[in-house]
Structure 1
């Protein structure tokens, strides 16, 4: 019983050790001095998914990895790279998953087609249900 309790405490406490003790990346939480560049960075960061959180954009996430990605975006925008080039580099590095707007391909087709199929099934089911109610 004691071993089970110790194991449970380690599992519950594991998220505490998930982030390192390193300070955040230099531009992770600091805006760029040029408002136009910061606006470009913010717009891009809202379209990129945190690879750790999986449900938040890198602009909204507090994960260390998201901070590193924010710093990378700001550094590259300050260096003069276009948001499209930065986005393409991140997609090449992390895959289409990092984007909230993945391109249509053989791999991402289910993401685009599934909502349409589910909607069609819902309409078909509702129509069949209404027909049965009218007959009864």
Structure 2
């Protein structure tokens, strides 16, 4: 009985990682294919370098191999191929995923700490240093 349990545990330890593996492929039509129109492909590629991958968080969707990045690349290319402008596609992606996906988030009450906290921290440091050196 103990051998059967050990054998089942070993089989599970081997089967679980195999089942969890992903081939990295994306089932999106334009994820890794270029558009036939060079101008549209350039516009799509430029936009893909401006959009952050929501899974990797430090790579653009053009550089990321994550499945969600492939789906986002496909979405960008299909919308550009349908005639939408890069600004329209960027607006759609921001509406869907939030301001986080752009490397240049807009100034809004939600992002004020992101924009003004460094200035306040530097100002506080200068104020502390000024008081320290004044003594």
TM-score range (shorter-chain normalised) is 0.7 to 0.9
2:73 maps to 1:64: no
Aligned to 2:104: 101
Maintained 8 Å contact 2:50/2:60: yes
Rg larger in 1 or in 2?
2
- Deviation, 1:24, is 3.7
Per-residue CA deviations over 1:100-129 (Å, capped at 9, x if unaligned) read 111111111111112222333444456566
Aligned to 1:42: 45
| Rounded Cα–Cα distance in structure 2 between residues aligned with 1:36 and 1:79 | 13
| Rounded Cα–Cα distance in structure 2 between residues aligned with 1:106 and 1:51 | 22
Maintained 8 Å contact 2:26/2:70: no
Select the residue among 115, 118, 123 that pairs with 2:118: 115
| Rounded Cα–Cα distance in structure 2 between residues aligned with 1:90 and 1:55 | 17
Select the residue among 90, 93, 107 that pairs with 1:90: 93
TM-score between both structures, scaled by the size of structure 1:
0.74
| Rounded Cα–Cα distance in structure 1 between residues aligned with 2:21 and 2:118 | 34
What RMSD, in angstroms, separates the aligned Cα atoms of the two structures?
3.0
Unaligned runs of 5+ in 2: 1-9
Unaligned runs of 5+ in 1: 1-5
Secondary structure class of the residue paired with 2:31: coil
| Rounded Cα–Cα distance in structure 2 between residues aligned with 1:115 and 1:19 | 40
